[in-house]
Amino acid sequence: MENIILRVILFVVGMIAPLIMWICGKWLQNDLCNERNQYMGYRTKLSLKNDNTWKFANEYCGKLWIFSGKMLLLISLMIMILAVMFCESNMMICWIVVILAIIQSVVMIFSMIRVENALKENFDENGNRK
């Protein structure tokens, strides 16, 4: 029984980051943070320049995170189902979860780099559209 509970917990942990990315992507894309603020949204030096950069960055990041979250969720789901079903060792499943978390984090970081590059392609350093 303890083995099953641990495997369920590990399964859920492997799914958390993609789910959060997907949910936050929906949140960013659906104008839930349509005004610049100190607490919510995609907040970087360039995205905070003006309302245009803020809206662009949040919409762009939202689209990326929805897509990335869905893809990561699908991939993580398949990997975790296989791991829970076929790995005899709980330690091996733990390592799979750690590797998934690293991959998920890398995807999240690269998506932020893409947003910043898109901002730089579309706006000058003062936040004016090119």
What are the structure tokens assigned to 20, written together?
A: 């959060």
Domain that holds residue 96: 2-27+46-122
Res 34 pLDDT > 80: no
3-state helix, strand, coil in the chain (%, to 5): 75, 0, 25
- Is 33 a domain residue? no
- Reported confidence tier of residue 2, pLDDT bands at 50, 70, 90: confident
- Reported confidence tier of residue 68, pLDDT bands at 50, 70, 90: very high
- Reported confidence tier of residue 32, pLDDT bands at 50, 70, 90: low
- Is 77 a domain residue? yes
Length of the chain: 130
- Is 65 a domain residue? yes
Question: How many domains in the chain?
Answer: 1
Give every CB contact of residue 100 below 8 A, 6+ residues apart in sequence.
14, 76, 79, 80
- Is 9 a domain residue? yes
- Is 61 a domain residue? yes
Give every CB contact of residue 115 below 8 A, 6+ residues apart in sequence.
42, 44, 47, 57, 60, 61, 64
pTM of the prediction? 0.87
- Is 38 a domain residue? no
pLDDT in the model for residue 121? 97
- Is 14 a domain residue? yes
